[in-house]
Chain A
Amino acid sequence: MATTGTVLAKNMTIAFDGVEVTCQVNAEINMSTETFDTTCKDSGAWAEPRPGTKSWTASGEYNVAFDAALGAKQLFDAWDTQIEVDVVFGTGVTGDFEYTGSGYITSLTTSSQGNDAAVTGTFELTGAGALTFTS
């Protein structure tokens, strides 16, 4: 049954090739459009940008576990071998809208900060091709 009302953040996660990244803390998707300038002497006081190339990234943070089903090792392998992976950002609930696309892992970090704290990692996937928002 599709989710109604405000979506809880804990239910919205990133999955690569259909499997959620283990123990996610944060997840987000960013979309942007580059613009090119068509401003000319006839434009008067206002700039006249026009939309150009669209791009998107999916990124997140997770707690590191060496035995994670989809964690630091799998993300490293995907980055190292430069394979294209499918990504879904959504609730996983049938009927809910979700972002889907595919791309390449272009950024990874693993961070051990302080003493009594979880080791965390971050990932970023740069989209290749279209991003869709469908149920």
Chain B
Amino acid sequence: MSKHIRLLKPYAGKRFDYPAGTVIGVRDSVAAELVKKKAAEYVDDSVRTLRYPPAAPVQAECFSSDEEKDTAPKGAKQIQTLTAPSGDK
């Protein structure tokens, strides 16, 4: 089985680029070379090869549109509050 590694530095493949944090599956020899160069670390083979780590923080600020982003007061945060209705509404 190929080794799954988490990139500590961006990795430029022949055609595709992979940012730091990405988990990729590569040949044993490639994995060993990247780990040796401290450009990656081994992860368990069962870890999904995803672009972002599963525990990546959710972006704190978000805007529903560019217009809203442009008109938002400087420094203001868009906070969405979800409320559960009480009773049958």
Chain A contacts to B: CB under 8 angstroms: 10-11, 13, 15-20, 22-23, 65, 67-70, 74, 77-78, 83, 85-86, 88, 91-94
Contacts and interface: CB of A to CB of B under 8 A. Distances in A.
The 5 closest A-B pairs by CB, nearest first: A92-B2, A20-B25, A17-B14, A11-B1, A69-B49
B49 A23 contact: yes
Given A20-B25, A69-B49, A94-B27, A15 B2 contact: yes
A77 B1 CA distance: 26
Category for how many chain B residues contact A: 20 to 34
Interface in B11-45: 13-16, 18, 22-30
A65 B48 contact: yes
Contacts, number: 79
A67 B51 contact: yes
Given A17-B15, A18-B13, A92 B27 contact: yes
B52 interface: yes
A65 B29 CA distance: 27
A83 B15 contact: yes
A13 B28 CA distance: 13
A74 B2 CA distance: 20
B50 to A, nearest CB: 5
Given A19-B26, A69-B18, A92 B3 contact: yes
Nearest to A63: B48
A68 B18 CA distance: 11
Contacts of A70: 16, 24, 49
A91 B28 CA distance: 9
Given A69-B22, A83-B15, A20 B49 contact: yes
Contacts of B3: 92
Given A13-B25, A91-B2, A85 B15 contact: yes
7 contacts: A11-B1, A13-B2, A17-B14, A69-B22, A69-B23, A78-B15, A93-B1
Contacts of B48: 22-23, 65
B40 to A, nearest CB: 12
Nearest to B7: A69
